[in-house]
Amino acid sequence: AGICPPQNIQNNSDAYFHQGSLNSIFNNISSGLSTCAQGTLTGNSTPVAIADSDYVIPRSTPYKLVGNSTDADGTSTHTYTWEQNDLSTVTGLPRETNATGPMVRSFEGTSDRVRYIPRLEELLVNGGNSTQWEKLSSVSRVQTFDLTVRDNDTRGGQTNSDEMIVQVDANAGPFRVTSQNLGGIVWLPNTVENITWDVAGTDANTINTANVNILLSTDGGSNFDTVLASNVPNTGSYALTVPSGIVSPSCRIMIEGAGNIFFALNTREFNINADVQITCTTYQSGVLGTSIPDNNARGIRSSINIPLTDNIESIKLGVDISHTYIQDLIFSVNDPSNSINAIAWNRECANQNDIAATFEDGGVTVLCRQPTVGNFAPSESFAIFNGVAANGDWTLSVSDNGDSDLGTLNSWSLEVCVQNVTPLSNESFELDNLSIYPNPNNGNFNILFDNASSNNVGVTVFDLSGRSVFKRSYETSSSFNQNINLGSVSTGMYLVNIIDGNRTITKKIIVD
């Protein structure tokens, strides 16, 4: 077969697609007869990949790669892939001490321009350390990264690449957040909280990062989109006045080098001004008496409407089924979107008859009896529903997967637990001349303020786990003056919540 000449591409901004190339190859192989492919102008411009600048970072410290792109056709369909391009003769898993070779694995490109190393979801779990396939260098070395941008255009997708260098200086690092790493931390608005970190030489050496930015996530670390402070001196400490308007039980802190790519996370979620209450409500199907068709995988479906507008914290399924040989049965739960399904019972037990049981995560393994009763773990975890919108029709599907045995779905129920988050304190309201004294105290203290707006003032004291250790209402006139005795509580920090009409104030006390 002859060799096809290269196409003469006149316009570098447009890409060609060689139609018939596959047919030509097949014809060459099968018969030796073919015609050369004809180039066709797609009209799709080639994107321009723009990797970040080169940086020097501290050892054993997470960092992020930031890419960008331009395209005459727009960038809405672009995806970004970061890959390390460092060859080595070293074999086996990557190691922190490798001076050459790859340390970072390649993942499929996404529309996210930022690539955290290691990946953010893994950093949130492991506290900012290396993972099996994503290593943070503990030695001085150079790392080369290539950014590949794909435009994913249906007319004929095009790619472009750009390179950046990340140099590790082992004389600095690890850079770490050293505060907000314990459980039970609660911040209240307009109070002062100290944020601390280990500078670890990042303000000198070849890194010379004089300032840092302090970012906040209110969704457990998925997004760090709240700036608490920017360009503050990289001294290892910052006194933050907690801003009002933030209410979240799932906060994390990121401190990043200003003008650099290294960063660190605190290791635990903490609470900012959030009173979290879990409310559980059980919804019943009523008496059904619905026959389950024998040896029919389609089975039956029954729905219960859940009117709640909150998201799911957890669910518990209750079923009452009369059926001989219950190993024939499979039943599962679907959410209102009908896109999330979890099997509660998957042909468990053998010769037993009838089921009157509940299923929830944390339950015990099924104990086969006749009838089978108890509180059991589902065959598939119900955690898949966590965070799903509760509102709508939840469906139970029941099928009989063997012949000669009949049954009836008598009834079923669904207990839905949702998380209600309200502010602990509304500092836009002030109680006149509020005083809580002595503080610290031994569990016995006084609350005093003037000009109460209601005739009934509520006082609740919480420990840092959110458990109420004291709750009482007091009739009052203009001035409120009450002694509070918590009894024999443990030493530590407590939150005193005062409700006066539509005014709510929460203050911290120390019991020692």
Lowest mean pLDDT across 36-40, 352-356, 358-362: 36-40
DSSP-assigned beta bridge partners for residue 473: 458
Model pLDDT, residue 42: 81
Contacts of 452 (CB under 8 A, 6+ apart): 476, 477, 478, 479, 480, 500
Buried-state track 235-245, b at ≥16 Cβ within 10 A, e below 16:
ebebebebeee
Range of the domain at 32: 14-45
Confidence label for 32 from pLDDT (cuts 50, 70 and 90):
low
pLDDT in tens, 208-230: 999 999 999 999 999 999 999 99
Tell the residue number behind the tokens 């049965």, with chain if given.
329
Query: Residue 478 maps to which CATH number?
Result: 2.60.40.3080
Cα–Cα distance, 139 to 90 (Å, whole number): 16
Q: Is the pLDDT of residue 75 over 80?
A: yes
Cα–Cα distance, 215 to 223 (Å, whole number): 10
Instruction: Say whether both 203 and 315 belong to one domain.
Output: no
Instruction: Say whether both 255 and 287 belong to one domain.
Output: no
Model pLDDT, residue 17: 46
How many helices (H) and strands (E) the chain has is answered by 2, 35
Instruction: Say whether both 150 and 184 belong to one domain.
Output: no
Segment 226-244 mean pLDDT? 96
Instruction: Say whether both 163 and 114 belong to one domain.
Output: yes
pLDDT in tens, 132-191: 999 999 999 999 999 999 999 888 899 999 999 999 999 999 999 999 999 889 999 988
**Coil, strand, or helix at residue 159?**
strand
Instruction: Say whether both 415 and 434 belong to one domain.
Output: no
Strands 248-257 and 263-265, by their bridges, are antiparallel
Instruction: Say whether both 412 and 286 belong to one domain.
Output: yes
Q: Is the pLDDT of residue 58 over 90?
A: yes
Q: Is the pLDDT of residue 267 over 50?
A: yes
pTM given for the model = 0.77
For the chain, what's the residue count? 512
The answer to the question of residue 8 being in a domain is no
Domain boundary among 6, 29, 45: 45
Contacts of 30 (CB under 8 A, 6+ apart): none
- Comparing C-alpha atoms, which of 224, 230, 275, 307 is closest to residue 419? 275
The answer to the question of residue 39 being in a domain is yes
Cα–Cα distance, 415 to 57 (Å, whole number): 51
Model pLDDT, residue 89: 79
Instruction: Give the angle 169-170-171 at the CA atoms, nearest 5°.
Output: 90
Domain boundary among 388, 421, 454: 421
The answer to the question of residue 1 being in a domain is no
Q: What total number of domains does the chain contain?
A: 5
Instruction: Say whether both 145 and 83 belong to one domain.
Output: yes
Contact 142, 92 (CB under 8 A): no
Model pLDDT, residue 371: 94
pLDDT in tens, 10-23: 344 444 444 455 56
Cα–Cα distance, 33 to 157 (Å, whole number): 30
Cα–Cα distance, 258 to 202 (Å, whole number): 11
Model pLDDT, residue 8: 43
Cα–Cα distance, 390 to 433 (Å, whole number): 43
